[in-house]
Chain A
């Protein structure tokens, strides 16, 4: 009888250990899920917006390098951004190019370049 009781208690302890482990794993999973969600919904959009802005500026700048016979000042709407380009003559053979990319009147990225005039 005593042996049966000890066996029963041991089974209960074993069950309790498995239960605890499952609980800890669940807590961890919830935590990791929450962290991922936090990163996804807070950091990634911020940087992905900046990366996209950077790409849009680079595309425009590359086209300007190939063909300089473009408008010196213009503003265009693209992919939810407002891209503004302003070119000044810094020297008779040098252009200063300024880009400003905004979204809902908030500045996302500003870039400046010097470019040899063809």
Chain B
């Protein structure tokens, strides 16, 4: 006969085994769920990336509001995509979600010009020929006025070079073949959270509303760090000092001054004038714009380097001898320089492409129209897959310039 203790013992072992079985089944279930979750998250990440590619590949305009689409028409790859203006630049965002899981990707959009438009210089057909002197070099294809290009002798210096244009020459039109889309500027103020105090340190993501820091007086940007979806606006002047760390923000004011030795990346949008002092380094992607109704100007100091675009646009044609843009000696624009309805004095270099209505050279011995002395315009220094920071030509192809999220 079995003792009662044996039955209790058997029950105890059964209890332990069932607990272990339960534990094992739970663990297996959790393990499977975790792997399924990982696979789902991976699919969402891929869909968000595909959403970004889809938005870049299909959208011609901008959609400030998000659009939902079923990526592959299978009913299970829903993605919200949005392409919106960020000043003169574009931001594209894609959000893929499934139940409580989601994946968000956000990127700044850059534009690649078609091979046929990979030129070094476009000088509008303003009748006067282009005159080259000193160590001037134009490397790459160039669109020039009907009068063409000539050697010049200025202040005892003639042109040193075996060719005038180190590339092919084409005939230019009277108007520059570019457009400035100012839609983004009007949209900026609409969806912004407004505040008047300047934070010492702030990062506003592009998934949030724009933070607009507005001031009526002069704004001194120093000893602070601002990043992302932030607009700093002044009704008078903004001065940026080397102790200011800026990334992807927009600065708007009638006059913007960047102090010696500053280093950051931003969009600087001025209505009157923009001065970048010596030894500044504006990182890629930066965009400097003067869009003026009057006689505004842009000045890039010696040894300053701008990685991105510099644009000058005036609503009225300049006076014959008025200087609108001055690129000083040893200053460098890596990307694109656009001067519409203005005269450019180029003493430094453009590594990329230059569109201008005209050149001017103010020298101690005199003022010369459409003359270049010791200037350098070199398209070959720009790598072939370079992405420009904004779209100014119709057939520019979009691509991802910088991941934001």
Q: Interface of A with B (CB < 8 Å)?
A: 20, 24, 27-28, 31, 35, 39, 43, 47, 50, 54, 90-91, 93-94, 96, 111-117
Main SS class of interface, B: helix
Q: Interface stretch among B48-56, B142-150, B174-182?
A: B48-56
Task: List, in ascending order, chain B residues with CB within 8 A of A20's CB.
Answer: 9
| A91 and B9 alpha carbons, distance in the complex (Å) | 73
Task: List, in ascending order, chain A residues with CB within 8 A of B39's CB.
Answer: 50
B335 vs chain A, min Cβ distance (A):
21
B57 in complex: contacting residue of A24, A47, A94, CB < 8 Å: A94
30 contacts across the A-B interface (CB closer than 8 A) = A20-B9, A27-B16, A28-B20, A31-B17, A31-B20, A35-B24, A43-B28, A43-B31, A43-B32, A50-B39, A54-B42, A90-B54, A91-B57, A91-B58, A93-B57, A93-B397, A94-B53, A94-B58, A112-B71, A112-B72, A112-B77, A113-B49, A113-B53, A114-B51, A114-B54, A114-B57, A114-B71, A116-B53, A116-B57, A117-B57
A67 vs chain B, min Cβ distance (A):
14
Task: List, in ascending order, chain A residues with CB within 8 A of B51's CB.
Answer: 114
A27 in complex: contacting residue of B17, B24, B50, B57, CB < 8 Å: B17
Are A27 and B13 in contact, with the CB atoms below 8 A? yes
| A20 and B6 alpha carbons, distance in the complex (Å) | 11
Are A39 and B42 in contact, with the CB atoms below 8 A? no
B79 vs chain A, min Cβ distance (A):
10
Task: List, in ascending order, chain A residues with CB within 8 A of B9's CB.
Answer: 20
Task: List, in ascending order, chain B residues with CB within 8 A of A112's CB.
Answer: 50, 71-72, 74, 77
Name A39's closest neighbour in chain B (CB-CB): B28
Name A109's closest neighbour in chain B (CB-CB): B39
| A31 and B338 alpha carbons, distance in the complex (Å) | 76
| A99 and B72 alpha carbons, distance in the complex (Å) | 13
B57 vs chain A, min Cβ distance (A):
3
B360 vs chain A, min Cβ distance (A):
40
Contact with A along B1-28 (1 / 0, CB 8 A): 0000000010001001100100010001
Task: List, in ascending order, chain B residues with CB within 8 A of A90's CB.
Answer: 54, 57-58
B295 at the interface (CB under 8 A from A): no
Name B72's closest neighbour in chain A (CB-CB): A112
Question: Which of chain B's residues 68-125 have a Cβ closer than 8 Å to chain A?
Answer: 71-72, 74, 77
Q: Interface of B with A (CB < 8 Å)?
A: 9, 13, 16-17, 20, 24, 28, 31-32, 35, 39, 42, 46, 49-51, 53-54, 56-58, 71-72, 74, 77, 397-399
Are B46 and A111 in contact, with the CB atoms below 8 A? yes
Task: List, in ascending order, chain B residues with CB within 8 A of A39's CB.
Answer: 28, 31
Task: List, in ascending order, chain B residues with CB within 8 A of A43's CB.
Answer: 28, 31-32
Name B16's closest neighbour in chain A (CB-CB): A24
Are B42 and A116 in contact, with the CB atoms below 8 A? no
Name B32's closest neighbour in chain A (CB-CB): A43
Counting chain A CB atoms within 10 Å of each CB, which of B9, B24, B42, B397 scores highest? B24
| A114 and B28 alpha carbons, distance in the complex (Å) | 35
| A112 and B32 alpha carbons, distance in the complex (Å) | 23
Task: List, in ascending order, chain B residues with CB within 8 A of A115's CB.
Answer: 53
B399 in complex: contacting residue of A50, A94, A111, A116, CB < 8 Å: A116
A66 vs chain B, min Cβ distance (A):
12
Task: List, in ascending order, chain A residues with CB within 8 A of B397's CB.
Answer: 93
Are A94 and B28 in contact, with the CB atoms below 8 A? no
A24 in complex: contacting residue of B13, B46, B72, CB < 8 Å: B13
B310 vs chain A, min Cβ distance (A):
27
Name B23's closest neighbour in chain A (CB-CB): A35
Counting chain B CB atoms within 10 Å of each CB, which of A91, A111, A114 scores highest? A114
Query: Do A113 and B13 contact each other (CB < 8 Å), given the known contacts A91-B57, A94-B58?
Result: no
| A111 and B9 alpha carbons, distance in the complex (Å) | 54
A46 vs chain B, min Cβ distance (A):
9
Task: List, in ascending order, chain B residues with CB within 8 A of A31's CB.
Answer: 17, 20
| A24 and B10 alpha carbons, distance in the complex (Å) | 11
B295 vs chain A, min Cβ distance (A):
41
Name B31's closest neighbour in chain A (CB-CB): A43
| A39 and B397 alpha carbons, distance in the complex (Å) | 51
Name B77's closest neighbour in chain A (CB-CB): A112
Name B74's closest neighbour in chain A (CB-CB): A112
| A114 and B20 alpha carbons, distance in the complex (Å) | 47
| A117 and B54 alpha carbons, distance in the complex (Å) | 11
